[in-house]
Amino acid sequence: MRYAIATNSGTSALHLAVRALGIGEGDIVITTPMSFIASSNAILFERAVPVFVDIEPHTLTIDTRLVEKRIRALRRKGKRVKAILAIDLFGNMANWRRLREIARTYKLALIEDSCEALGSYYRSRRGEKMAGSLGDVAVFGFYPNKTLTTGEGGMLVTNDKKIAENARSMRNQGIVKGKAWGEYDKLGYNYHLADINCALGLSQLKRMPSIIKKRRFIASEYTRMFAKRGLVRTPVIQNNFFVNPFVYVIHLPRKYDIRHRDRLLKLLEKSGIKARPYFPAIHLTAFYKREFGYKRGDFPVTEFFADRALAIPFYHSLSRADIANIVKSVNFCVQKLASLSTGGRV
Ligand SMILES: *Cc1c(COP(=O)(O)O)cnc(C)c1O
């Protein structure tokens, strides 16, 4: 990308993206409830309205058929749809080819949340398309659990000069272009990334190829080993996609529900394996329920996944033997769940 503006978090990069695109009070931004909560919060910072649509069951990214349906319905009611904010979840890229067509048709801005997809790409007829190169603006995050970390940090990337200049100014209190200090021509923030964090990021950047290799190795070993028993569902990778996995999230088959998943988390904890629900659906958090009146059943695919999913250990020093042990423990605990549920107690 032509321009890159480092920020002190992925969340602040998202906020700058929303502002730099001129999205403001009452504007509608289409996004999904299957993400880290920051992606829709950033829309609310500007009193714009996040309108959720559900995800596709396999890629867990925004369902582009629902996007178009929703835009049409909103337009019929005379609503102002301004942008789509799609998430490259867990390293899986959204259907950007289709999203770009929709954005063109309805004259919408596209924000790409690539915080979890640094290094992912897909092969198209016109070459490789990297995550973070497909929106009008894309953002990355450099929190410690991300592929590349600066301690805390983020980055906004774009090919649009005006967006870049705007974001660069707002990152530093709204400073006048070219000035170091003292002259301000818009509302800005303290969103810059400190030198010390940048130093860490630069040294991490050199390790990127080996980090990605390691992450892909761990993910593929998990998938291969889980496939032997087939007791849990593992991530699906689409053809022609190179995924740099952000986390390793498994989910329970349909016959189980959220109570089984929570029970499984406890059983794993007892076996010394730390796992987490990942992600909880945004629309069912206390804040979104209270603020917007969302309820269970509003986004069934997201809920199906959120109820059954758990992230299992995923760090670079995991050896093949560690992975085998974790898989064995997960399988063992899942079998315990099966016997529990036939007894009617979960
Ligand atoms: C990590 C992440 C962010 C940004 O998080 P920060 O902690 O603010 O850097 C935004 N969106 C998604 C989907 C993320 O995973």
- Delineate the domains of the chain, giving CATH numbers in brackets: 3-204 (3.40.640.10), 208-342 (3.90.1150.10)
342 pLDDT more than 80: no
10 lines ligand 1 (CB under 6 A): yes
141 lines ligand 1 (CB under 6 A): yes
Around 15, how many Cα atoms within 13 Å sit in the side-chain half-sphere?
Answer: 23
116 pLDDT more than 60: yes
- Alpha-carbon gap, residue 165 to 264, rounded angstroms: 49
Of all residues in the chain, the percent with pLDDT exceeding 70 is 98
112 lines ligand 1 (CB under 6 A): no
Going from the C-alpha of 88 to that of each of 10, 15, 81, 117, 120, the distances in angstroms are 14, 17, 21, 6, 9
pLDDT-derived band of residue 339, with 50, 70 and 90 as boundaries? confident
152 pLDDT more than 50: yes
Pocket test of ligand 1: the residue of 115, 278, 279 to mutate, having most ligand atoms within 8 Å of its CB, is 115
- Give the model's pLDDT for residue 87: 98
Hey, CA dihedral for 291, 294, 299, 300, is it positive or negative? positive
143 lines ligand 1 (CB under 6 A): yes
Q: Name the H helices within 130-256.
A: 161-171, 195-229
Closest CA to 88 of 321, 257, 244, 309: 244
- Alpha-carbon gap, residue 291 to 285, rounded angstroms: 10
- Give the model's pLDDT for residue 20: 98
79 pLDDT more than 70: yes
Going from the C-alpha of 57 to that of each of 115, 286, 295, the distances in angstroms are 21, 24, 20
311 pLDDT more than 90: yes
111 pLDDT more than 90: yes
- Strand intervals (E) in the chain: 3-7, 28-31, 49-52, 81-87, 109-113, 121-124, 127-130, 137-141, 154-158, 241-242, 248-251, 276-277, 309-312
187 pLDDT more than 90: yes
State pTM to two decimals. 0.96
Closest CA to 341 of 259, 262, 275: 259
- Give the model's pLDDT for residue 171: 97
- Give the model's pLDDT for residue 346: 45
Question: pLDDT per residue over 133-150, tens digit each?
Answer: 999 999 999 999 999 999
Distance 117 CA to ligand 1 centre (A): 11
Question: pLDDT per residue over 214-250, tens digit each?
Answer: 999 999 999 999 999 999 999 999 999 999 999 999 9
- Give the model's pLDDT for residue 318: 95
160 pLDDT more than 80: yes
